[in-house]
Amino acid sequence: MEYFSDLLTREMEQAFERAGYDGALGKVTVSNRPDLCEYQCNGAMAGAKQYHKAPFMIAEDVAAQLKDSAVFSSAEAVKPGFLNLKVSEGLIQKYVGEMAEDPRFGSPLPEHPKTVILDYGGPNIAKPLHVGHLRSAVIGESIKRIVKWHGDRAIGDIHLGDWGLQMGLVITELKKRQPDLVYFDPDYTGEYPEEAPFTVSELEEIYPFASGRSKEDPEYYKEALENTHLLQEGNRGYRALWNKIVAVSTADMKRNYERLNVSFDLWYGEASVHDRIPGMVKDLKEKGYAYESDGALIVDVAEETDAKEVPPCMILKSDGASLYTTTDLATILQREEDFAPDEIIYITDKRQELHFIQVFRCARKCGLIRPETELRHIGFGTVNGKDGHALKTREGGVMRLETLLDDIDAAMLEKIRSNEEIGEEEADRTAKQVGLAAVKYGDLSNQASKDYIFDMDRFTSFEGDTGPYLLYTIVRIRSILQKYAAAGQGKDASQCRICAPGDEAEKALMLDLCGFSQMMDDAYRDLAPNRICAFIYRVANDFNSFYHGTKILTEPDEAKKEGYIALLSLCERMLSACIDVLGFSAPARM
Ligand code: ARG
């Protein structure tokens, strides 16, 4: 279907032409004075110079052409030269009616779907997930779903931090604590045991311990570097132990991501491209892109137009070790080979922006990627506490993701328990579902690049711009639809037909829905889930105003009642589709 606003613009362009003006002046936009009109056109203002005429006169000429318009029920010229517009009820009925018939609400699928890789999550093996990982998971999952909704092939890759010094540190500490483990016996040639020699909580204690010690003890640090090197060189015992560390750690991660309703198509990590690095390095050297500087291997990526200095991209350290940059470059090679993607999108903390500028430039310069492949980095801000500083535990430590989710679930459970109709088990389940919406909506309703304040009281409120408010609205609509079905006197909701809006509140709601496909395309173009949040919040508000002013189930006029039911059913399906794209769902009741 054509965008609703394009349909209005087309009508306006023709009116400008019929009045003897340039049709291109007829752009129609949503009114910024909703108290006066629904849409507006400022073309007469823009045309004044061109036609040496007062804008008001132009606006009047155009308005005269719209007297019998089937699109605008009123087009009024107002000083100094605006056109204030109201949309015809018949057009709205037709447009919303068509949306209601289409499972995609009038959004066409692309003729040439793209292949898009989404790199998000990015947790590090052996380190517990902390609140910083929340945003990558929540935003990344939603962007993946936006891309999928649009009709592209979306592939999510978690890109584990599973290589490098952090693994060497864990191995070093394990060796100190359990030197007799068979993994450390260089003469051992048999099979390694099935069972890991540690639990996930032990692992999570070991890493920070080892990391702290390495900062104080240079000998220990040196040992960790050596062990990292041995691991990367392929030491058999170390590799076997590494496999165990990865297995134990990812099992725990999977549990956490499942709880967040986040899933990945690929569980690749930095380690999975290790074997590509020597070939890549050789190639970069041979082609003359990479050269040695102070013992390190680097590629220049600065550009003349850089306002801030962009340092060279470091490929190998002077000791020959690879870096974060190196694995990211090799991963680009791997993705090109496996999927030839049209686009790769990275979702990380915005403090990694420079890293991605370097990686993207280096990949292009050295031809690691086809010129037509787009590379995009979505950098997000920090999750802050109410004090405006990064969210911490009460003791001042890093906030674990699990703790945060537990806290929100507990707060939600308290509220849901006040509904006495809901039993213990359902309350538990519902609290988790609504809690997740609270957390995700609290994050996604902000522009990703901005920091936001994690405000437990606000996020879990059933009122205002919150996840629970939206779920509550959906639950309310469902309950009316259920009551209608249970009464069993009318048609099935799917047989009910949309009517023309009967009052201002109904019209406002229907006009909101008309903006759906354009909003989804905007969200896709900008990779901005916050646009979907703003849309559903407006729909929910306008629905609730409509609901409070309208007797729906007791409406005596059967055709009118069926019109309401058709509209409610469309609202319910559209809101449900939107929250699914945001990555959460609504309970049966709350
Ligand atoms: N593991 C990284 C971190 O914790 C994030 C990885 C993001 N993805 C990437 N391809 N670099 O900061």
Q: How far is the CA of 122 from the centre of ligand 1 (A)?
A: 5
Instruction: Ligand 1 pocket test: pick from 348, 356, 369 the residue with the most ligand atoms within 8 Å of its Cβ.
Output: 348
| pLDDT score for 528 | 98
| pLDDT score for 420 | 85
Q: Which atom number of ligand 1 is nearest to the Cα of residue 132?
A: 4
Q: Which atom number of ligand 1 is nearest to the Cα of residue 161?
A: 1
Determine, yes or no, domain membership for 208: yes
Quickly list H helices, 277-370: 277-286, 324-339, 353-365
**Domain residues for 20?**
4-87
Q: How far is the CA of 451 from the centre of ligand 1 (A)?
A: 19
Section 218-223 average pLDDT: 97
% of the chain at pLDDT higher than 90: 91
Determine, yes or no, domain membership for 111: no
Determine, yes or no, domain membership for 326: yes
Domain harbouring 51, CATH code: 3.30.1360.70
Q: Are residues 229 and 343 in the same domain?
A: no
pLDDT exceeds 90 at position 354:
yes
Residue 360 in contact with ligand 1 by CB distance below 6 A:
no
Q: Are residues 448 and 574 in the same domain?
A: yes
Determine, yes or no, domain membership for 427: yes
Distance, CA of 60 to CA of 65 (rounded, Å): 9
Nearest CA to ligand 1 atom 7: 122
Final residue of a domain: which of 197, 227, 259? 259
Nearest CA to ligand 1 atom 3: 122
Residue 119 in contact with ligand 1 by CB distance below 6 A:
yes
Residue 120 in contact with ligand 1 by CB distance below 6 A:
no
Determine, yes or no, domain membership for 104: no
pLDDT tens digits, residue range 224-283? Answer: 999 998 998 899 999 999 999 999 999 999 999 999 999 999 999 999 999 999 999 999
Long-range contact pairs involving 240-247 (C-beta distance under 8 Å, separation at least 24): 240/183, 240/192, 241/171, 241/174, 241/181, 241/183, 242/167, 242/171, 242/271, 244/196, 244/197, 244/198, 245/125, 245/126, 245/167, 245/170, 245/171, 245/196, 245/203, 246/125, 246/160, 246/162, 246/271, 247/196
pLDDT tens digits, residue range 464-497? Answer: 999 999 999 999 999 999 999 999 888 899 999 9
Residue 162 in contact with ligand 1 by CB distance below 6 A:
no
Q: Are residues 444 and 574 in the same domain?
A: yes
Report helix, strand and coil shares of the chain as percent, to nearest 5: 55, 10, 35
Residue 159 in contact with ligand 1 by CB distance below 6 A:
yes
| pLDDT score for 128 | 83
Q: How far is the CA of 268 from the centre of ligand 1 (A)?
A: 12
Distance, CA of 115 to CA of 154 (rounded, Å): 6
3-state SS string for 27-39 = CEEECCCCCCCCE
pLDDT mean across residues, the chain: 96
Q: Are residues 140 and 279 in the same domain?
A: yes
| Structural domain count of the chain | 4
Q: How far is the CA of 257 from the centre of ligand 1 (A)?
A: 16
Residue 122 in contact with ligand 1 by CB distance below 6 A:
yes
User: Which of left, alpha, beta for 189 (phi over 0: left; psi -120 to 50: alpha)?
Assistant: alpha
Q: Are residues 255 and 288 in the same domain?
A: no
More confident residue, 512 or 320: 512
pLDDT exceeds 90 at position 164:
no
Domain harbouring 325, CATH code: 3.40.50.620
Final residue of a domain: which of 259, 284, 305? 259
| pLDDT score for 316 | 95
Section 100-110 average pLDDT: 97
pLDDT tens digits, residue range 116-149? Answer: 999 999 999 988 888 889 999 999 999 999 999 9
Give the pLDDT band (50/70/90) at residue 580: very high
Give the pLDDT band (50/70/90) at residue 10: very high
3-state SS string for 398-465 = ECEHHHHHHHHHHHHHHHHHCCCCCCHHHHHHHHHHHHHHHHHHHHHCCCCCCCEECCHHHHCCCCCC
- Can you tell me whether residue 338 is helix, strand or coil? helix
Determine, yes or no, domain membership for 251: yes
Q: Are residues 156 and 170 in the same domain?
A: no
Q: Are residues 203 and 288 in the same domain?
A: no
Section 301-329 average pLDDT: 94
pLDDT tens digits, residue range 375-425? Answer: 999 999 999 999 888 888 878 888 889 999 999 999 999 999 988 889 999
Q: Are residues 347 and 470 in the same domain?
A: no
Residue 268 in contact with ligand 1 by CB distance below 6 A:
no
Nearest CA to ligand 1 atom 8: 122
Q: How far is the CA of 377 from the centre of ligand 1 (A)?
A: 12
Q: How far is the CA of 245 from the centre of ligand 1 (A)?
A: 18
Q: Are residues 39 and 139 in the same domain?
A: no
Determine, yes or no, domain membership for 409: yes
pLDDT tens digits, residue range 518-539? Answer: 999 999 999 999 999 999 999 9
Q: Which atom number of ligand 1 is nearest to the Cα of residue 331?
A: 10
Q: Are residues 536 and 426 in the same domain?
A: yes
Residue 135 in contact with ligand 1 by CB distance below 6 A:
no
Q: Which atom number of ligand 1 is nearest to the Cα of residue 348?
A: 7
Determine, yes or no, domain membership for 426: yes
Q: Are residues 234 and 285 in the same domain?
A: no
Instruction: Ligand 1 pocket test: pick from 352, 357, 359 the residue with the most ligand atoms within 8 Å of its Cβ.
Output: 352
Q: Are residues 275 and 352 in the same domain?
A: yes
Amino acid symbol at 552:
I
pTM, to two decimals: 0.95
Final residue of a domain: which of 259, 281, 298? 259
Domain harbouring 542, CATH code: 1.10.730.10
